[in-house]
Structure 1
Amino acid sequence: MIKLEGLLGVVVFALWVFCLVDAIGSPSDRIRNLPKVGWVLIILFFPLVGSIAWLAAGRPESGVRRPSAHERDQPAFPEYDRPGRAAAVDPEKDAEFLRQVRERAEAQRKAYEEQKKRQREAGEES
């Protein structure tokens, strides 16, 4: 009889730990029926009943996630992360753009060096 109670205690403890870790690790937007904090508190304060309730009513459903109304209106990828966005459409225009970027960078370097030189000269005159 004592072995059966001990085994039952270990099973309840393992279920409690599993459900607590599962609730904490689940994304907040996928948890059902209560906020995440509510489920964690229920599981903490009522180990057996809270764990069973989590498995039955709170745990995110497996399978395909249904997008919310807001997500259905949005494109699949934001513009900056769209696949193929970084690929050059016209290699000649891409080469011209890179040449212009290099020229601007060189002009900025020269202007910075001249500014530093003027500051040193102004500091020596003081």
Structure 2
Amino acid sequence: MAGVLIGLALLAFWLFSLFDVVTTPEDEVRNVPKALWILIVILIPLLGGMVWMARGRPRAQRQAWPVTPGPGMPKGPDDDPDFLRDLERRMRGDDVS
């Protein structure tokens, strides 16, 4: 019974890997051409699927964490109108120090 479950799990992983390779757009496949990935997954079922998952699958797009300046967060100097006004005054030579 355990052998049957392991066999079904391997078959499911192999089918998932093969379907994933086939449905991945050609320009997003990494390291080797898509046709070669299909052959690798078909000819070497378990190892080919694991290598596909680790080295051939497209990387997930990561989004930058949106951080908006809050009341206690420091602002950059180019976001501070007083700093920019003072800088322009100093560049014109109007600095009275």
**What TM-score results when the alignment is normalised by the length of structure 1?**
0.48
Task: Work out the CA distance in 1 between the residues paired with 2:12 and 2:37.
Answer: 17
Counterpart in 2 of 1:16? 14
Q: For residue 31 of structure 1, what is the amino acid of its counterpart?
A: V
Decide which of 54, 57, 77 is 1:56's aligned counterpart.
54
> Which of the pair has the greater relative contact order for Cα pairs under 8 Å at 6+ separation?
2
SS where residue 26 of structure 2 aligns?
A: coil
- Calculate the TM-score normalised by the size of structure 2: 0.62
**Structure with the bigger percentage of helix:** 1
**Root mean square deviation, CA, Å:** 1.4
Aligned residues: 63
Give the ranges of 4+ consecutive aligned residues of structure 1 lying more than 2 Å apart after TM superposition: none
Unaligned stretches of 5+ residues in structure 1? 65-126
User: Which structure 2 residue ranges, 5 or more long, are not aligned?
Assistant: 63-97
Per-residue CA distance 1:47-90 (angstroms, 9 max, x = gap): 000011110110111115xxxxxxxxxxxxxxxxxxxxxxxxxx
Instruction: For 1:20 and 1:61, locate their aligned partners in 2 and report how far apart those are by CA, in whole Å.
Output: 17
